Structure 1
C-alpha cells in the first residue's frame, strides 16, 4: 500500500488583533515558528511500525489559504492534528475520502471527541496508537478496515521502534523530537495528554533513547533535540542515568519539566554537561491565587510556590536557562495578575517567559467543568484552542480585562528592552564556563 503520514502543523492566533500584534511580539511569533518546525514524532513512530512491504512518506500541511494538500496518490492516509487545526484536518480528510483514499484520524482531539471525528474518517484511533497500528494496517491491506481502533492496554515504551527520521528533509527542520518518557504524575486539570493518551507515567529505556539520538546524528551533524515529554526530570533515577549516557553524545537539547528539577544540584549539573540548554517549567501563577486545585490529585505546585525563585536561580546559575510558563485567567485571578507576572519575571531573573490563556481543551476536566458551569462562549470553538484566544468567561475578571491584560503584558515582556534586560541579567548570574558560548535560547 501507499501510505501517507500527514501532520497538521503550525499554530496561529484566531483573534485578528492578536494576529496583527504577533507581527511585533516575539513571544507569539517565535513560539509559532518553533512549533511549526517540529515534526510529528507520533506519526514518525507509526511509520517505524509499518511494514517494509508498504510505500510510505511523511508530509506536513499548514494552511488551506496558503498551501495545497499533498497531491501524492495514496491508498491510505493517517492524519494527526492539534485541536486548533482539527477543522482543517477534517476538511483535508474529506477531500481525500472524496478522491477514494481511505483516511485514519488520531491524536488527542480525536480521542476526546471520537463521534465527531468519525464523521470525517474511515477509521479513528482512540488512545495510544502504537499497540493497534500493525493490526490496522493489516485490516486496511485486506479490505477489512474497522471504523474504530481503541488502545486497551497501555503501550510499553520499551517496545517502541526508532521513529523514521529518514523520512524527513534534513534541510527543513532545525530541531528534532525524541521521547524519553510518557505521561506526568501530577495530572493538571488543563492537560489532556497525561489524562487521555498516557494515563500511566512511564520512562523509555535509556539505551533506546541513545539509539534514537544516534540515528538522528547520522542524518543531522549537529542536531538540536527537543524532548517530547510532559515532565522529563520527574523520575530522578532515570534522569540521572539518561543524562550520564547523553554526555558522550555531545548534543544540545530543550525539554519541559517541573520546578523540583531546581532542588537536585547533581541532576542539574549532569543535565548541563549532557547538553541541556533550556527547560520550560510550568509555573502557572506567580501567587497562590489560581494554583489551588490545579492538579487532580494534589496541590503540589501550590506547595512549591515558595521555592520558585530559589529553584530558578540554581538552574540558571548552572548555565541552563529557564523558560517560565504562566497561565492567565485561572479561576479567581484578578487583574492584579498581570503586574504580578511582570514583577515575578523581573525579580526571578527568568531568561525567557511564556504567557498563555487558560484554555479548556476537550477531554480535560477543565473543559467539563466550564461546560457544566455554562462559561464556554461556544459549543464548538476548536480553532480558538491556540492558548492565546479567549474561549470562556473568566471568574476573577471580565473577558475584556483578560484580553487587554494579555496584550499589555505581552508588550511589556517582549519589547526589545525587556528581552535585552533578561538576557543581561542571566549572563551576569550564570557561571562563566557555562555561558561563554551561550546558545541557550530555543529561538
Structure 2
C-alpha cells in the first residue's frame, strides 16, 4: 500500500437553526415541517465526498460533520493531526465556520474553504482561510494539494475566473461514499445534473457554482454502484437543482434508475407533466417524490422571477399538472415562497386555499431569502432594504432578513407563522396523506380494471 504522506480532514458544517423563536416553538407541533428538517439535516456533503475522490494517492482523507461545535468535536479533529482542514458550509453557518477556522489556523493548521457562500463572497472568506476554492472544486483540488505539498498554496483557486479549471466531461470520479458512517443517515446524495437554466432571482445554487450541465449516464451508473456497495437498499436524494430539463437524457436516466432497487427523491419543474412517457418511466423507477418550485399561489408574483418569465407562463397549468403527475403515483412536494413584493396579507389565505385545491401530497413553505450572489440580493442591497450588512446566520429560509414591500417585518413573520400553523397542522397533514393514498388506490384500481 502506498504510504500516505499527508492527511486532510474534510469538515461539513451540517444543520441549520431557525432564529424565529415563535416559529421554532410552533415547529415542535408541525410534523411535516419537522420531518423535512430532519431529512435535510441528515444529508452528507456530496461536494466534500466528491473532492475526496480527486485527492492524490499520497493523501489520507477523513470526513467529519459538525452539527454542534463542542470541545470534544474539536479535539476529535485535532487528534487526527491533520496537515490541512477543508470546510464546506451553508450561508447560515458560515460565521461559525469562520470562527472555527480562525481557531485552527492559530494552531498552525492550514485551512481551505469552499462551497456556495464562499464562491459568492470569496473576499469575505479569505481572511479566515489560507486558501479559498471558488466554483467547482473537482479540478482545483488536486492542484491545491500539490501546491500545499510544495509550499506554494495560492490564496484563491477559481473555476469561475480561470479557464484552466474549466469543467470537462472526463473529469468525473466516484464520490467517496466509503468515508461515511452509513448508520448515521436516512438517505444519501447523488448528483446527476448541476445548475439550472431557469436562473431564478432568489436561487443561490443555479449559477453560483456552475452553469447547467448533465453527467454521463455511465458515470451515474458507477456512482449508484458505489452507493450500493455501502448500502443495499438506499433512499437517494438527488443533489440537483432541476433534474429533468433535458427530457431525452432524463428518460435514459430513469431507465437506469429502474434497474436498481431503491427509492429516491429529486427537484424538478412543472414541465414533467407535459411528457407522458417520462411520467411512466418516473413511476416505474420507484421515485418516491418530486419537489417542484411552484413559488406562489398568485400569478403576478412570478413576473420577473426567472429567465423569460417561464414559470409565469406555466402558472395556469399548475393545478392540472399537479393532478396529472400525482395520478401516476408520484408524490408532489409543492414549494411556496412568501414575501415577494407583490404579496399582501391576502396572499397567505390564497396560498392556503391553493394548497387545498391542488391536493398536493406535501408542501414546503419558506420565506423569501436574499442569499449572497443572487439577483435578489443585489436588488435589495441597492434598495437599502437588507436588515443588516451581514445577516448570514438568518439565511435559514424561515427568518425574515429584509424590509418587505407591503408588511412590517413583524407582520410578515406573524403571517408566515399563522400559515405554517395551518398548513402543517396534524389534521391537515393527515388529510393530504389520505388524499394521496386514495390517488394511489384509484391508480391501482384503474390499472387492473
TM-score w.r.t. the length of structure 2 is 0.94
> Where does 1:88-237 land on structure 2 (aligned, <5 Å)?
88-151=96-159, 152-153=162-163, 154-198=166-210, 200-237=211-248
Partner of 2:51: 46
> Where does 1:291-310 land on structure 2 (aligned, <5 Å)?
291-295=302-306, 297-310=307-320
- Equivalent residue for 1:245, pick from 246, 249, 256: 256
**2:152 & 2:182 partners in 1: Cα distance?**
36
What per-residue deviation string (whole Å, max 9, x for no partner) do you get for residues 233-280 of structure 1?
Answer: 111011001111221112110000000011111101101111211000
Partner of 1:58: 63
**1:123 & 1:35 partners in 2: Cα distance?**
28
The Cα of 1:173 is off from its aligned counterpart by 1.1
Count of residues in Structure 1 that have an aligned counterpart in Structure 2:
433
**2:225 & 2:96 partners in 1: Cα distance?**
35
| Structure 2, unpaired ranges of 5+ | 1-5
**1:427 & 1:239 partners in 2: Cα distance?**
27
> Where does 1:278-289 land on structure 2 (aligned, <5 Å)?
278-289=289-300
Q: Is residue 286–residue 344 contact of structure 1 (8 Å, CA) maintained in 2?
A: yes
Partner of 2:358: 348
Partner of 1:441: none
Q: Is residue 31–residue 426 contact of structure 2 (8 Å, CA) maintained in 1?
A: no
**1:195 & 1:434 partners in 2: Cα distance?**
41
Q: Does 1:372 align with 2:378?
A: no
What per-residue deviation string (whole Å, max 9, x for no partner) do you get for residues 43-93 of structure 1?
Answer: 000000001211110000012369633333210011000000001111111
Deviates further, 272-281 or 20-29: 20-29
Q: Is residue 41–residue 163 contact of structure 1 (8 Å, CA) maintained in 2?
A: yes
The Cα of 1:27 is off from its aligned counterpart by 3.8
**1:431 & 1:51 partners in 2: Cα distance?**
53
Change (3 A) 1:318 1:67: farther
Deviates further, 25-34 or 401-410: 25-34
Name the SS of the counterpart of 1:401 in structure 2.
helix
The Cα of 1:392 is off from its aligned counterpart by 0.4
**2:136 & 2:401 partners in 1: Cα distance?**
28
Q: Is residue 318–residue 434 contact of structure 1 (8 Å, CA) maintained in 2?
A: no
The Cα of 1:131 is off from its aligned counterpart by 1.8
Q: Is residue 134–residue 158 contact of structure 2 (8 Å, CA) maintained in 1?
A: yes
**Structure 1 or 2: larger helix share?**
2
Name the SS of the counterpart of 1:424 in structure 2.
helix
Q: Is residue 334–residue 397 contact of structure 1 (8 Å, CA) maintained in 2?
A: yes
> Where does 1:314-325 land on structure 2 (aligned, <5 Å)?
314-325=324-335
What per-residue deviation string (whole Å, max 9, x for no partner) do you get for residues 207-241 of structure 1?
Answer: 11111111101110100011110000111011001
Q: Is residue 204–residue 374 contact of structure 2 (8 Å, CA) maintained in 1?
A: yes
